[in-house]
A and B are shown apart, each in its own frame.
Chain A
Amino acid sequence: MSHVRRVVITGAGTVNALGASVAETMAAMKEGRCGIGPLDFPDVDRLTIRIGAQIRDYDPEAHFNRQQIALYDRFTQFALLSAREALGQSGLSFSGALADRSGVILGNSGGGLGTLDDNYRTVYEEGKNRVHPFVVPKLMNNAAASQVSMEWNLRGPSFTVASACASSNHAMGQALLMIRSGLADVMVTGGSEAMLCFGGIKAWEGLRVMSKDACRPFSANRNGMVQGEGAAVYVFEDYEHARARGAEILAEVAGFSMTADAADIVMPSRQGAARAISGAMKDAGLNPEDVGYINAHGTGTAANDKVESAAVADAFGHHADRVMISSTKSMHGHIIGGTGAVELVAALMALNEGVIAPTIGYEEPDPECALDVVPNVAREAEVSAVLSNAFAFGGLNAVIALKKAP
């Protein structure tokens, strides 16, 4: 077998309810700050679910000009801002051969739902027969990836991945494989979501899996998920390429695995999740005792947290009692197609700052979630390898393994 290229992270960026940068987000995670609060958008009074981790005090005009705002849905804006931070940190610019060998793969589930919502209102509720000419290029799911490619002249493999709550983990997995296979040298990757609008929440209400009061992952009194919004974007780079230019390396993307439950459209499967967790460790050459921290999918629903705990126990064996696992969704909400990307911030924080983000809102132990969930308060710990789980509706699972920078 030919030499498999190693892949490292050389830039990170995010915007979410906890902060407008990686540094702000990590600071909030260390404090255990909750970004969830009352939702604020038109017709919220017609919803039964009225909380979410909304990005407050966000001013598009501070970042984009009038023409850009006309073309960029909120999910695209979040992706562009995150990409600016990540690429700024990486120090890369793209021209010539490097531009052709660099691409962007982002995860996303709802596309421009806010744009869709606004324009449905225009034609159905207001009875108008004309919508803005840019509705389609604004709402299409690949708008964010395409706009990032244009802003940074990324001319290689680029597309959008949609696998509901696993979208951005799947996207980052594709970016890893793209570099490993030699099809690209640099990949800008992560995910973005902006589903906090009337139609977005109204649709979710129907399933009756959302909490009206709080996100309490792994707690016996948990009663559902709470949505958030935002994006995170990373620069994945061939290790030799990064080393040759003396780049600062944040972590190695050491392993990835994806599985399908092939079972149920909404109920998670212990086996499918366990296979994905084991697969990521195997791909990274890690044994369970090497892994110090898992960023859980941890949605705060009855079903997910129980099944995820069992899957971790299956995949980790005896070491399940020692590994730390936390759900940062308790702070930034469930960012659906962008959630795995935002959660990778907690994985980087564990590796590089020696701080494990807590599971906040934890009130009562649940015997069916008997793991060390780092309840309520962040913890200092040295870890050298971490996992980040994502298990989507539709039974599509994707787990990423990171190691400390080589």
Chain B
Amino acid sequence: MAQDIEARIIGIIAEQAVLEPGDVSGDQTLEDLGIDSLGLVEVIFAIEEAFDISVPFNANDPTESEFDISSVRAIIDAVTGLVAEQKG
């Protein structure tokens, strides 16, 4: 289950970055991957749709939102938590 979430999120981020999933790693930031603010909003939308969850994120202050987007790993962990919380 956890690996499935990881693979799907990496797939979503890779698609947004126009990269192969194999080129996306946990320590990268969205900035490293060339994903801008609009791209980020699209990634969050895709995650919400894929997992049928609601992601608490306000673009006015991404660093202080409850949803940690500081790296690919952080996003995977945050989504894993949200899935457990909202679908568990």
Contact = CB atoms under 8 A, between A and B. Distances in A.
A266 B58 contact: no
Of B38, B58, B59, B60, the most chain A CB neighbours within 10 A belong to B60
Chain A contact surface mostly = loop
B45 A266 contact: no
Contacts of B37: 266-267
B41 interface: yes
A329 interface: no
Contact of A206 (B45, B54, B58): B45
Nearest to B60: A302
Contacts of A301: 60
A208 B59 CA distance: 5
Interface in B25-84: 37-38, 41, 44-45, 54, 57-61
A278 interface: no
A244 interface: no
Contacts of B59: 207-209, 224, 302
B39 to A, nearest CB: 12
Nearest to B56: A48
Of B37, B45, B59, the most chain A CB neighbours within 10 A belong to B59
A266 B61 CA distance: 16
A207 B41 CA distance: 7
18 contacts: A206-B41, A206-B45, A207-B41, A207-B59, A208-B44, A208-B58, A211-B60, A223-B58, A223-B60, A223-B61, A224-B58, A265-B38, A266-B37, A266-B38, A301-B60, A302-B59, A302-B60, A303-B60
Interface string A201-215: 000001111010000
Given A208-B57, A224-B60, 11 more contacts: A48-B54, A208-B59, A209-B58, A211-B58, A223-B61, A224-B58, A224-B59, A266-B37, A267-B37, A302-B59, A302-B60
A222 B38 contact: no
B67 to A, nearest CB: 10
Nearest to A302: B60
A303 B41 CA distance: 15
Nearest to A210: B58
B53 to A, nearest CB: 13
Contacts of B54: 48
Contacts of A266: 37-38
A273 B57 CA distance: 28
Nearest to B55: A208
Contacts of B38: 265-266
A247 to B, nearest CB: 45
B62 to A, nearest CB: 9
Contacts of A48: 54
B75 to A, nearest CB: 15
B60 A209 contact: yes
Contact of B41 (A208, A211, A223, A302): A208
A361 to B, nearest CB: 14
A62 B8 CA distance: 56
Nearest to A212: B58
Nearest to A301: B60
Given A266-B38, A267-B37, A302 B61 contact: yes
B70 to A, nearest CB: 17
Interface in A34-54: 48
A267 B41 CA distance: 13
A207 B20 CA distance: 26
B68 to A, nearest CB: 15
